[in-house]
Amino acid sequence: MSTVAAERELLFGSTARALRPRALKVTDTGFPKAADEVRIAFHPRALSAQTRASLEGIAGARIEPTDEGEDGERGTLSCSRERLETAAEQLAEARVLLGAVRCLAPPPERPRLMGVVNVTPDSFSDGGRYLNPERAVERGLRLEGEGADLLDVGGESTRPGAQPVSAEHELERVLPVVEGLASRCGVRISVDTTKADVARACLDAGAEVINDVSAGRADPGMLPLVAERGCEYIAMHMRGEPRSMQRAPRYVDPVAEVCEFLRDRVAACLQVGVELQRMTLDPGIGFGKRLRHNLELLRRLPELRSLGRPLCLGVSRKSFIAHATGELRGDDWEGNRPTGTDDRLAGSAAAVCLSVLGGAEILRVHDVAQMGEAVAVAVGVNRRDTPRNRRED
């Protein structure tokens, strides 16, 4: 079995989907890494009595229930990494739990910045400002000059309360922009769409990434298209749809539930032939989530890395920032104002830094130059070894 196939089975196979493991903590003991203490959340009910006894038989291991699930189905395993690795030699379930721990590798040295190019009249951040294709292309080129590694072109607003548009109308907006950028810019182009027809036309025009807020649920043709074309695919968590997603969303544990949703969507992608190494996952900050849910996701972002796929975070200018500062009242979840959202810059920078420290690999931002500075500071904090050739103040 190839390395990719082994990883696919370990993290997204039937055993992994039953156990749903998330690495909660790896405590450095000061000894070789194998002696580290690990704590893993999972579903103990997925274990047979014999398998549970084998895990509990690991010296020093503890399986304890948690209050994360309404039905008490979630629990945690705490033990030494060394002994878990020994158990994994014989026990498939132990291998799956260990796989979640091994995904907590060091974050990337520098996340990629994805510059936002909205071609919509009703986007929450800059609606109508770049509706003209020429202005949108100029916007993309400017973001590239500021340091964007990717450009994300969107022709349908997904802000809370947004109304859908037809594929034909969306293509009228985005296709000239994708064609213009593909002929003039030197970075990869992403298209923010849930529609297979839009994705196909934009891939033909030079786009290389599909950023799908529905994770393939909105259009049954999307995942087969991604598999056929072999493009990079970003699958996002969203509860409900843009028109209704902020109407009293509820979670028992938002991190566990988002992680479980994304695991299932990766499995759906794999089932139709999407390559594992082409997938990036987005927890969907602001999509069907209230302030406390968004902050909990940012605080516990490393747990989502248990899925072993790169994480994309879109925190820029979002309304949760205004809720955190008290600028918006608690029942205002559309968060739109006639003056726009440019004044959420400082809050966006703080959220970007948290995303970097949590291990995000792609950051979708409106203000590339400013967020690039924030990323540089956060990367410096994350870096364990200061390069020898750097002169310190």
Indicate the helix (H) or strand (E) that contains 154: strand 150-154
- What pLDDT does residue 374 have? 97
- What pLDDT does residue 239 have? 86
Which CATH number characterizes residue 167's domain?
Answer: 3.20.20.20
Q: How many whole angstroms separate alpha carbon 13 and alpha carbon 45?
A: 17
Tell me: do 333 and 298 sit in the same domain: yes
- pLDDT confidence band for 63 (50 / 70 / 90): very high
- 163: exposed, middle or buried (Cβ count in 10 Å: 0-12, 13-18, 19+): exposed
- pLDDT confidence band for 388 (50 / 70 / 90): very low
Give me the helix-helix angle, 291-299 and 345-357, nearest 10°. Answer: 40
**By residue range, what is the domain housing residue 51?**
3-102
- pLDDT confidence band for 332 (50 / 70 / 90): low
Q: How many domains, the chain?
A: 2
Final residue of a structural domain among 84, 102, 120: 102
DSSP assignment string, 284-304: -TTSS--HHHHHHHHHTHHHH
Is position 336 within any domain?
yes
Q: How many whole angstroms separate alpha carbon 266 and alpha carbon 17?
A: 11
Model confidence at 27: pLDDT above 70: yes
Tell me: do 80 and 179 sit in the same domain: no
Residue 86: both structure tokens together:
């020994």
CA atoms within 13 A on the CB side of 214: 18
Is position 393 within any domain?
no
Tell me: do 217 and 251 sit in the same domain: yes
Residue 342: both structure tokens together:
């440019």
- Nearest Cα to Cα of residue 124 among 338, 313, 311, 354: 338
CA atoms within 13 A on the CB side of 285: 29
Residue 366: both structure tokens together:
């409106």
Tell me: do 273 and 169 sit in the same domain: yes
Tell me: do 256 and 364 sit in the same domain: yes
- Nearest Cα to Cα of residue 364 among 110, 152, 163: 152
Is position 157 within any domain?
yes
Mean pLDDT of 15-40: 82
Tell me: do 116 and 98 sit in the same domain: no
Report the chain's mean pLDDT, rounded to a whole number: 88
Q: Give the residue numbers annotated as catalytic, written as ranges.
A: 318, 364
**DSSP 3-state of 242:** coil
| Residue pair 20/263 in contact by the 8 Å Cβ criterion | yes
DSSP state of 306: G
Tell me: do 348 and 285 sit in the same domain: yes
- pLDDT confidence band for 30 (50 / 70 / 90): low
Tell me: do 253 and 356 sit in the same domain: yes
Is position 389 within any domain?
no
DSSP state of 328: S
**Length of the chain measured in residues:** 393
Tell me: do 69 and 144 sit in the same domain: no
Tell me: do 78 and 160 sit in the same domain: no
- Nearest Cα to Cα of residue 303 among 265, 260, 270: 260
Tell me: do 350 and 369 sit in the same domain: yes
- pLDDT confidence band for 204 (50 / 70 / 90): very high
Residue 21 contacts by C-beta under 8 Å, 6 or more apart in sequence?
A: 40, 41, 42, 96, 97, 99, 100, 306
Mean pLDDT of 281-292: 94
Contacts 24+ apart (CB under 8 A), 328-333: 333/160, 333/246, 333/290
Tell me: do 67 and 183 sit in the same domain: no
Final residue of a structural domain among 102, 135, 160: 102
Is position 392 within any domain?
no
Within the chain, what is the greatest distance between any pair of CA atoms?
A: 66
Is position 391 within any domain?
no
Is position 123 within any domain?
yes
DSSP assignment string, 256-269: HHHHHHHHHHHHHH
Phi, psi for 76 (deg, rounded to 5): -135, 145
- What pLDDT does residue 389 have? 47
Final residue of a structural domain among 83, 102, 121: 102
- 52: exposed, middle or buried (Cβ count in 10 Å: 0-12, 13-18, 19+): middle
- pLDDT confidence band for 34 (50 / 70 / 90): low
Give the torsion sign (CA, 45, 36, 279, 192): positive
Indicate the helix (H) or strand (E) that contains 41: strand 37-42
